[in-house]
Amino acid sequence: MGSAGEVEIIDPDPEMLPLIEALSPGFRIASGPLPGFVRPRLLITRERGAGVGAGELAELTTARLWELQARAADGVTPLAPGEASVLVVKLTLARRSLSRCTLCAHRCGIDRLRGELGRCGLGPGASIYEAYVHIAEEPPINPAFNIALRGCGLRCRSCQQFRALKPNGPESHALTPAVWQRLDLSSARSLVFIGGNPTESLPAILDFLRGAPDDFALPVGWNTHGYDTVEAIRLLDGVVDVYVPDFKYGSDACAERLSGAPGYVVNAESIVREMCRQGVPVLVRILVLPGHNSCCHLRTLERLEPLRQQVHLNILGQYAPDFLIGPGDGPLTRRPLRDEVTAVRDAAQAAGFVFV
């Protein structure tokens, strides 16, 4: 139950439509255009030549591979027979990163290829724990076919997806190119990677996307917790069509206490800037935490204000105490007050932000 006796349906899919319409006869699935989208960028990147033979990649230094993938933005060079595509260069870089993992901002530096486990607990592959059409995402990506992956570098005390924290939990399925054959995307307007957190599974996702059918026509979305590294997000340039990052905290003290994420604020700002640099829509989510307007959410708006012409905000009031929240957690033991959510929205509007 929500506040004031309201009924809330979490993560609704199309099968829930009859129930939703019975409870709210005026309900409609909100959809809208995704600015600038014509064709999935990953298909273009897959068709671009990197200027080196596919068999040469293993011999190139990591610095040279970064040069090749950066140069791809300068123009479109059709892929020649035997040549490595820019997408394969990105995949090679992502796989190399696993030997001293720096995909999330914890920068564990462990060798996931040899079975060492860092904060996310993942090996070299990716594991799906849910895949479904979601009908309550932001209008530019709604309905979204969400691929939810296990593993996350954060340990948020209020996590509502804590099942995803177990890398090898029940009903897991490996994310491989063969999964394309089982996806029914007919009722979706986007394909979005969520979690857990997808960035910790970046190499396997790039390998999966490399196998996209030639007629794949949906924008690719990336829903992240904001604690990725800029290097990881840079590898998604030319692959992702829309970013949906959380900006969880405006206070490093709150981020460390509630999510185990030191240095969160500068890091989240840096990755949002990188997303904006890539020239695709960036839909920033701010989940209003009870009692955290002054320390977090209003400070977040100040951080994002220089980017207010480039990002769209979605300010959410759906926080609910969950997972590890207990009696000693003060305001976090309750739902956010309507006035708390309104205050953040009013401040964002006054600062000139555009809402999703």
* Beta carbons within 10 angstroms of residue 85's beta carbon: 18
According to DSSP, the residues that pair with 74 across neighbouring strands are: none
Counting Cα atoms < 13 Å in the Cβ hemisphere of 312 gives 15
> Which residues in the chain land under pLDDT 70?
1-5, 72-76, 169-170
Annotation: CATH topology of 118-355 = TIM Barrel (3.20.20)
In this prediction, residue 10 carries a pLDDT of: 80
Q: How confident is the model over 269-314, as pLDDT tens digits? A: 999 999 999 999 999 999 999 999 999 999 999 999 999 999 999 9
Helices marked H in 135-263 — which ranges? 202-210, 230-234, 252-259
**Calpha distance 320→332 (Å, rounded):** 8
Cα gap 222→239, rounded to integer Å:
10
Question: Given this model, what pLDDT does residue 82 score?
Answer: 95
Q: Report the pLDDT value the prediction gives residue 1, as an integer from 0 to 100.
A: 44
Q: Give residue limits of the domains in the chain.
A: 40-100, 118-355
CA distance 266 to 282: 17
β-partners of residue 286 are: 315
Q: Report how far residue 277's alpha carbon sits from residue 233's, in angstroms, rounded to the nearest whole number.
A: 11
pLDDT, tens only, 157-176? 988 887 788 777 667 789 99
Q: Which residues of 285-304 are buried (b: 16+ CB within 10 A; e: fewer)?
A: bbbbbbbbbeebbbbbbeeb
